[in-house]
């Protein structure tokens, strides 16, 4: 090698787009800053630098991405298509750098450029294209699929406006629109040439073809175009980069111009508005479905685009259509994409001339369905007239599926007409509805719940009839979360300590954390663990100070509840505990209580009055408690506004105690519960969702359990529950409720919290009063346990060490084996 080359290897041997040495990265960042962002360093803002760094990272992703896309065409590989109306991805930069294995050189390069890595990372505005757990689960699953080298495409909607931003004004939630694309999006690539067309409305025409076969043609009233935007999903050091393909709706030129040219300007414009509206905004409701036409349009739009895309791939690879189900496994993330069952049937029957039986065989073997809720108000159903006017052909197909399905039900259960009516795809109680969960069940070869208890409740309650008909269809896959984002990226302090003790294998094999167990018995290790935990708490305290100008004590017990605000999640039960402590301190200011900081975060659906009132309630209590001299700064209540993935990454690592206090039988699984415990928080929780399995995994002695079981909840409600009696018989609860009613927390306003109190005293659907005393006793035990810091650290280490099961890698392996029939290790290479 000539001398001058060996002296400057980075300059001469490395390509600016792919090189990974510190020198090359520095050059590439400045290059992108100049040539892509069009800025020179003195003029560059944090966002400019973020953009330049992001392009530099993307350049290093591209070769892997293109290679992975090409591998989809290999016949022996089945591609997983995860259909989801929501993907709550969170910021990409730190995660992509970690997964590429370029964290060290990037950190160094950024530092040598005189920049702060943290500032660049926090400049990224996150795509909030989801409401909560369901959308975030989809994101964790994409990370695990790529990490496990499973070829996969996430299909969804590229909402122009994602989840609203929450401001808190005078204690109330105020919603602000989320224009997340304001500064552009360096990760995505628009693929205009891969657009597809989707029809809406119109009518159908039937005829008999030249072979005497019955054929139907759908003549839509309008057609919109779907444009795919692709974002790379980088596997953790696997070399695989999968695709997140999100569809944007636009007007088709032909429709638009046809109207325009014929002088129908208004029609042309409304066509354009109709088309562009479809992917405009994410519906911000969690757990309650309103039968809005636009939502059905969104669901059909992205599902049809995605299925057409798969068929186009199939044809481009020259695979026959009759093996479609062998090439593609489609997972329905809840019922939102379940119209896909009827759409794939339509495409196969009408567009590709296939017969019913073959089309049905393919459809049924392609789809599988995950249910995420037991709440009746979250079950999707569409009024038949609305459905028929928007999707006339699909309604015909659904009627045909239903006729054949009910025939099977009647053969299995002769004479049981009540059962047939219960199971029908059409609800005919009064107004007629299409039941989307039934369509998803009938059209799928597997149906799964997301935690053991949830699956049992599906089998014996919500979907009982279906379970009795097809028990083999039902399986459980307990949720999991990715340790890359939720430990390695968000908790670098604890991650570094763990890696020093047991190596780094845990990042892609979370069971390795077991190796931490012996540390629990080692006093020096416990001290290190506590030291790290304190550093993380200081980090959050500084953030709270900067954001809210509130000083909190990092040595207080950090007691956190972050999740959507919902009555069943019982944030107000948490507040009743705060008020109980407050009540004790008011009666005895010298009482020795453990200093606590109560941390809340979460958004309420804009139309959910009670949830919004709960936010006001938390803030109102905080306003009084934080300032009361009798409390003397021993209790703090903090409501962190605008809870999102980025904020979650700050809160999970800093918590000592994780509040998982939903009414048993209501929370399908929960995933925040997993993120907290992995980060060493102890859980106070009910036997609900995945709490049951977490408790079993970490050891019952390392978990604070309280409350009624799901069976007891059902029995309590069935036997005539009277919350008023609990109020009358519990003097502390009585006093607390009275003080709220007296206006003590509302500047004397006795009406403000009346709806909340009336609901609790008269109905208490979520059994706060029934669980109140058990919760308070359990909180007292937790406080007592916290006094013994050695013991607490022991429990904390054991929690983290035993959370291996809750990696999304484990969940994805189960989906691969039991649902998609993919051998994980054979998937690539």
State the minimum distance, in angstroms, from the CB of residue 392 to ligand F58. 25
Give whichever of 64 and 136 is closer to ligand F58, judged by the CB atom. 136
Of 137 and 536, the one with the shorter C-beta distance to ligand F58 is 137
CA distances from 760 to 383, 564, 711, 731, 755 (A): 33, 20, 21, 16, 9
Among residues 563, 572, 577, 828, which one is catalytic? Answer: 563
Rounded CA gap, 69 and 86, in Å? 22
Please indicate whether residue 675 is annotated as part of the active site.
yes
Q: How far is the CB of 667 from ligand F58 (least distance, A)?
A: 5
Mark whether 563 is an active-site residue: yes
Q: Give the residue nearest to ligand F58 (CB).
A: 133
The CA-CA-CA angle for residues 122, 125, 127, to 5°, reads: 135
What is the distance between the alpha carbons of residues 349 and 231, in angstroms, rounded to a whole number? 32
- What's the min distance (Å) between Cβ of 674 and ligand F58? 9
Q: State the catalytic residue, choosing from 372, 393, 445, 813.
A: 372
In the complex, least distance from residue 815 CB atom to ligand F58, rounded to whole angstroms: 13
The CA distance from 782 to 391, in Å, is 55
Q: How far is the CB of 302 from ligand F58 (least distance, A)?
A: 13
Whole-number CA gyration radius for the chain: 28
Distance CA 795, CA 530 (A): 12
Let me know if 501 is a catalytic residue: no
Do the Cβ atoms of 572 and 768 come closer than 8 Å?
yes
Binding-site ranges for ligand F58 (CB under 6 A): 131-134, 137, 285-287, 289, 372-373, 378, 450, 479, 667-671, 689
Query: Would you call 407 a catalytic residue per the annotation?
Result: no
Q: What φ, ψ does residue 196 adopt, rounded to 5°?
A: -135, 165
Residue 346 bears catalytic tag:
no
Dihedrals φ, ψ of 161, to 5°?
-120, 120
User: Please, how many CA atoms are within 13 Å of residue 60, restricted to the half-sphere of its CB?
Assistant: 29
- Report residue 151 CA to chain centroid gap: 21
Can you name the residues that pair with 173 across neighbouring β-strands? 168
Q: Which of 381, 569, 695, 794 is catalytic?
A: 569
The terminus-to-terminus CA distance of the chain in angstroms comes to: 33
Comparison of 133 and 723: residue with beta carbon closer to ligand F58? 133
H/E segment holding residue 21? none
Tell me the closest approach of the beta carbon of residue 662 to ligand F58, in angstroms: 8
Instruction: CB nearer to ligand F58: give 368 or 671.
Output: 671
Q: Catalytic pick from 671, 695, 802, 810?
A: 671
Longest dimension (CA), the chain: 93
Alpha helices in 588-741 (DSSP H): 609-627, 645-654, 672-678, 691-698, 710-718, 723-729, 731-741
Tell me whether residue 90 or residue 689 sits nearer to ligand F58 (CB atom).
689
CB of 378 to ligand F58, least distance (A): 5
Minimal distance in Å, beta carbon 133 to ligand F58?
3
| Token digits of residue 509 | 């094999």
Cα–Cα distances in angstroms (integers) from residue 171 to residues 168, 598, 629, in the given order: 6, 16, 21
Provide, rounded to whole angstroms, the least separation between the CB of residue 671 and ligand F58: 5
Distances (CA, A) of 805 to 333, 511, 690, 802: 21, 7, 11, 8
Question: Would you list the DSSP string of 499-536?
Answer: HHHH-SGGGT-GGGGGGGGGGGG-HHHHHHHHHHHHHH
Tallying the residues shown for the chain, one arrives at 829
Count of beta carbons in the 10 Å neighbourhood of residue 588: 11
Would you say 132 or 680 has its CB closer to ligand F58? 132
**What does the alpha-carbon distance between residue 395 and residue 402 come to, in Å, rounded to a whole number?**
10
Neighbour tally for 378: CB within 10 Å: 18
Contact partners, residue 630, CB within 8 Å, separation at least 6: 585, 586, 589
Please enumerate in sequence order all residues whose Cβ is within 8 A of that of 517, keeping only pairs 6 or more positions apart, or say none. Answer: 797, 798, 801, 802
Separation of alpha carbons 488 and 510, rounded Å: 11
Nearer to ligand F58, 231 or 333 (CB): 333
Q: Which is nearer to ligand F58, 337 or 723 (CB)?
A: 337
Q: Which is nearer to ligand F58, 132 or 228 (CB)?
A: 132
Smaller CB separation from ligand F58, 269 or 375: 375
Q: Look up 20 and say whether it is catalytic.
A: no
Phi then psi for residue 641, to 5 deg, are -70, 155
Q: What are the φ and ψ backbone dihedral angles of 433, each rounded to 5 degrees? A: -130, 150
Nearer to ligand F58, 65 or 766 (CB): 766
CB 88 within 8 A of CB 136: yes
Cα 58 to Cα 229: distance, rounded to the nearest angstrom: 15
Residue 83 · residue 247 · CB < 8 Å: no
- Least spacing, CB of residue 458 vs ligand F58, in Å: 12
Residue 716 tokens, joined: 């309590």
Nearest distance in Å: CB 285, ligand F58: 5
Distances (CA, A) of 375 to 457, 499, 767: 11, 41, 15
- Map residue 474 onto helix, strand or coil: strand
- Annotated catalytic residue within 272, 485, 526, 564: 564
**What's the closest the beta carbon of residue 658 comes to ligand F58, in angstroms?**
14
Nearer to ligand F58, 378 or 770 (CB): 378
Q: 650 with 490: CB under 8 angstroms? A: yes
Per the residue annotation, which of 473, 570, 572, 675 is the catalytic one? 675
User: Which residue numbers are catalytic?
Assistant: 372, 563-564, 569, 671, 675
């Amino acid at each position: 090698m000539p001398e001058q080359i060996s002296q400057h290897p980075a300059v001469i041997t490395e390509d600016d787009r792919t090189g990974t040495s510190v020198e090359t990265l520095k050059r590439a960042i400045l290059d992108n800053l100049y040539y892509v962002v069009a800025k020179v360093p003195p003029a560059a803002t944090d966002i400019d630098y973020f953009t330049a760094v992001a392009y530099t990272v993307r350049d290093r992703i591209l070769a892997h991405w293109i290679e992975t896309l090409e591998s989809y065409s290999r016949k022996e590989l089945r591609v997983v298509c995860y259909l989801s109306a929501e993907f709550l991805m969170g910021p990409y930069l730190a995660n992509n750098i970690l997964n590429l294995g370029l964290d060290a050189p990037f950190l160094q390069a950024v530092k040598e450029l005189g920049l702060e890595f943290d500032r660049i990372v926090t400049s990224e505005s996150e795509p909030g294209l989801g409401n909560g757990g369901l959308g975030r689960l989809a994101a964790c699953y994409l990370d695990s699929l790529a990490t496990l080298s499973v070829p996969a495409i996430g299909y969804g909607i590229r909402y122009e406006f994602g989840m609203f931003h929450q401001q808190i004004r005078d204690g109330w939630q105020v919603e602000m629109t989320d224009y997340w694309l304001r500064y552009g999006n360096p990760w995505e690539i628009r693929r205009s040439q891969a657009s597809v067309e989707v029809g809406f409305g119109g009518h159908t025409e039937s005829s008999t073809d030249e072979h005497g076969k019955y054929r139907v043609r759908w003549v839509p009233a309008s057609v919109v175009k779907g444009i795919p935007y692709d974002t790379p999903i980088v596997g953790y050091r696997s070399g695989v980069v999968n695709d997140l393909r999100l569809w944007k709706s636009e007007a088709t030129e032909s429709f638009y111009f046809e109207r325009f040219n014929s002088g129908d300007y208004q029609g042309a414009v409304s066509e354009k508005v109709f088309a562009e509206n479809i992917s405009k905004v994410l519906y911000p409701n969690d757990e309650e479905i309103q039968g809005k036409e636009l939502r059905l349009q969104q669901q059909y739009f992205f599902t049809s685009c995605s299925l057409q895309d798969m068929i186009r791939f199939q044809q481009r690879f020259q695979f026959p259509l009759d093996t479609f189900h062998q090439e593609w496994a489609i997972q329905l993330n809840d019922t939102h994409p379940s119209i896909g069952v009827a759409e794939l049937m339509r495409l196969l029957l009408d567009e590709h001339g296939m017969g019913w039986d073959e089309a049905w065989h393919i459809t049924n073997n392609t789809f599988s369905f995950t249910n995420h809720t037991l709440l009746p108000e979250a079950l999707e159903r569409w009024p038949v007239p609305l459905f028929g006017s928007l999707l006339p052909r699909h309604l015909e197909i659904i009627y045909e599926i239903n006729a054949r399905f009910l025939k099977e039900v009647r053969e299995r259960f002769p004479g049981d007409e009540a059962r047939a009516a219960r199971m029908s795809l059409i609800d005919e109680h009064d107004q007629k509805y299409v039941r989307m969960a039934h369509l998803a069940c009938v059209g799928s070869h597997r149906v799964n719940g997301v935690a053991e208890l949830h699956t049992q409740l599906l089998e014996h309650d919500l979907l009982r009839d279906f379970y009795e008909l097809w028990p083999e269809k039902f399986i459980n896959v307990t949720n999991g979360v990715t340790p890359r984002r939720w430990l390695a990226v968000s908790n670098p302090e604890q991650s570094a300590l763990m890696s020093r003790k047991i190596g780094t294998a845990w990042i892609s094999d979370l069971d390795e954390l077991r190796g931490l167990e012996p540390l629990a018995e080692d006093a020096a290790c416990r001290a290190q663990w506590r030291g790290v935990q304190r550093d993380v708490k200081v980090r959050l305290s500084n953030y709270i100070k900067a954001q809210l100008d509130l000083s909190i004590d990092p040595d207080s017990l950090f007691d956190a509840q972050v999740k959507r605000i919902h009555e069943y999640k019982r944030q107000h039960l948490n507040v009743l505990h705060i008020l109980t402590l407050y009540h004790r301190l008011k009666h005895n200011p010298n009482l020795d209580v453990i200093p606590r900081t109560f941390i809340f975060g979460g958004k309420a659906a804009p139309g959910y009055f009670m949830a919004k009132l709960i936010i006001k309630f938390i803030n109102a209590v905080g306003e009084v408690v934080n300032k009361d001299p009798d409390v003397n700064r021993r209790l703090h209540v903090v409501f962190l506004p605008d809870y999102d993935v980025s904020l979650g990454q700050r809160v999970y690592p800093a918590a000592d105690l994780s509040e998982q206090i939903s009414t048993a039988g209501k929370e399908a699984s929960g995933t925040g519960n997993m993120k907290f415990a992995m980060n060493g928080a102890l859980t106070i929780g009910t036997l609900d969702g995945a709490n049951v399995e977490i408790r079993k995994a970490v050891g019952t002695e390392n978990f604070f359990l309280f409350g009624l079981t799901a069976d007891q909840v059902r029995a309590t409600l069935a036997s005539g529950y009277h919350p008023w009696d609990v109020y009358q018989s519990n003097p502390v609860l009585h006093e607390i409720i009275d003080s709220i009613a007296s206006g003590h927390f509302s500047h004397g306003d006795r009406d403000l919290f009346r709806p909340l109190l009336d609901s609790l005293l008269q109905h208490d659907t979520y059994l706060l009063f029934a669980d109140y005393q058990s919760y308070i006793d359990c909180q007292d035990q937790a406080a007592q346990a916290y006094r013994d810091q050695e013991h607490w650290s022991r429990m904390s280490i054991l929690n983290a060490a035993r959370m291996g099961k809750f990696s999304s890698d484990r969940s994805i392996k189960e989906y691969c084996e039991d649902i998609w029939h993919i051998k994980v290790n054979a998937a690539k290479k």
